[in-house]
């Protein structure tokens, strides 16, 4: 009896140590993948918000400026708040998806894949949607409504004198309208539906003459459907930006502004989905499998 309890205790320690190694690999994979895709997503999101607030410069020109800035001043770019917001969003999303799936499989014997996938999807949505809205709110507050006159930007900074050492005026940030947050939530619902729910529904409609393998059909739908979903999500995104930037105005003027930015912004957001849901997920999955194999090797060594 004592030997049986001792053996059970050892197995429990092995399983606990193995799960800890698996979760460490999940966090490492998510962190690396998020760090890889966040720079380009940060540049795209900032360019889209600035272009929606003021269309004085072409969208591609604004995007090029931010991409070049990330190479010329990497320390300032990676230490800035916008990169932190984007990195937090994707690191938390990938970590949640990885960790919840690993824990669900570890705690259930012969786990039902449908159950594990459902739990992972719901947990990921609970984390991704609020953080996505939080990130967009911060970007809109930073770049969506110019608060500094252009003339003031060109004034050189004078050395601080003794008479000028007064406390700076307190700047109260503008209250973020709830309607804008609701618009971003609806946009994310469209993206998640197009990324998670819609691909399995459309897989059977793909002719065998295009893709004969069901696995290839599913992979193709998982790549193309999220991109195409942005055709519907982009007008909603632009509406949210315009509701914040122009709180007052006629509906016809608002529609005209959205139409003016719709084409290039749609292309930009379709391109943005590729690193976020394509490259990022592929990199995260590959690194996760690699770290899990390392954890399995360490587990085998402990047993021997």
Q: How far apart are CA 160 and CA 152, in angstroms?
A: 17
Q: Is the dihedral of CA 204, 193, 34, 227 positive or negative?
A: positive
Residues of the chain short of pLDDT 70, as ranges, are 1-17, 55-56, 109-111, 145-176, 196, 303-304
Q: C-alpha angle with apex 198: 194 to 204, nearest 5 degrees? A: 145
- Which stretches of the chain are DSSP H helices? 2-53, 59-72, 74-79, 81-107, 113-143, 150-153, 178-192, 198-203, 214-245, 251-273, 280-303
Closest CA to 239 of 252, 226, 255: 255
Q: How far apart are CA 302 and CA 284, in angstroms?
A: 27
- According to DSSP, residue 196 is labeled I
Q: What is the pLDDT of residue 168?
A: 46
Q: What is the pLDDT of residue 170?
A: 47
**pLDDT tens column, 67-94:** 898 889 989 999 999 999 999 999 999 9
Q: Give the rounded distance of the alpha carbon of 58 from its chain centre.
A: 24
Q: C-alpha angle with apex 82: 169 to 233, nearest 5 degrees? A: 115
Q: How far apart are CA 303 and CA 15, in angstroms?
A: 11
Q: What is the pLDDT of residue 110?
A: 61
**Coil, strand, or helix at residue 223?**
helix
Q: What is this structure's pTM?
A: 0.71
Q: What is the pLDDT of residue 185?
A: 85
Q: C-alpha angle with apex 64: 61 to 66, nearest 5 degrees? A: 115
Q: What is the pLDDT of residue 25?
A: 94
CB atoms near residue 132 (< 10 Å): 19
Q: What is the pLDDT of residue 122?
A: 86
- Topology of the domain comprising 8-145+175-303: Mitochondrial carrier fold (1.50.40)
Q: What is the pLDDT of residue 169?
A: 47
DSSP sequence for 274-288: IIIIIIHHHHHHHHH
């Amino acid at each position: 009896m004592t030997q049986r309890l001792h053996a059970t205790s050892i197995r429990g320690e092995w399983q606990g140590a193995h799960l800890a190694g698996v979760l460490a690999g999940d966090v490492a994979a998510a962190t690396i993948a998020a760090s890889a895709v966040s720079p380009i997503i940060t540049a795209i999101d900032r360019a889209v918000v600035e272009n929606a607030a003021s269309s004085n410069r072409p969208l591609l020109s604004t995007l090029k400026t931010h991409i070049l800035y990330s190479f010329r001043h990497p320390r300032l770019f990676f230490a800035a708040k916008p990169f932190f917001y984007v990195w937090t969003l994707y690191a938390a999303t990938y970590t949640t998806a990885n960790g919840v799936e690993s824990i669900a499989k570890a705690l259930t014997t012969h786990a039902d894949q449908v159950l594990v996938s459902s739990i992972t999807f719901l947990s990921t949505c609970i984390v991704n949607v609020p953080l996505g809205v939080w990130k967009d709110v911060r970007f809109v507050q930073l770049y969506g409504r110019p608060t500094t006159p252009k003339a003031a930007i060109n004034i050189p900074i004078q050395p601080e004198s003794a008479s000028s050492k007064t406390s700076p005026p307190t700047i109260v940030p503008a209250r973020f309208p709830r309607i804008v947050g609701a618009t971003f939530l609806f946009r994310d619902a469209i993206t998640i539906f197009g990324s998670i729910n819609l691909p399995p529904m459309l897989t059977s409609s793909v002719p065998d003459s295009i893709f004969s393998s069901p696995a290839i059909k599913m992979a193709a739908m998982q790549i193309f459907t999220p991109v195409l979903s942005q055709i519907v999500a982009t007008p909603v995104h632009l509406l949210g930006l315009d509701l914040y930037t122009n709180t007052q105005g006629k509906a016809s003027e608002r529609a005209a502004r959205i139409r003016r930015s719709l084409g290039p912004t749609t292309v930009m957001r379709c391109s943005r989905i590729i690193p976020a849901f394509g490259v990022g997920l592929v990199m995260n999955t590959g690194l996760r499998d690699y770290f899990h194999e390392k954890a399995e090797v360490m587990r085998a060594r402990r047993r021997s």
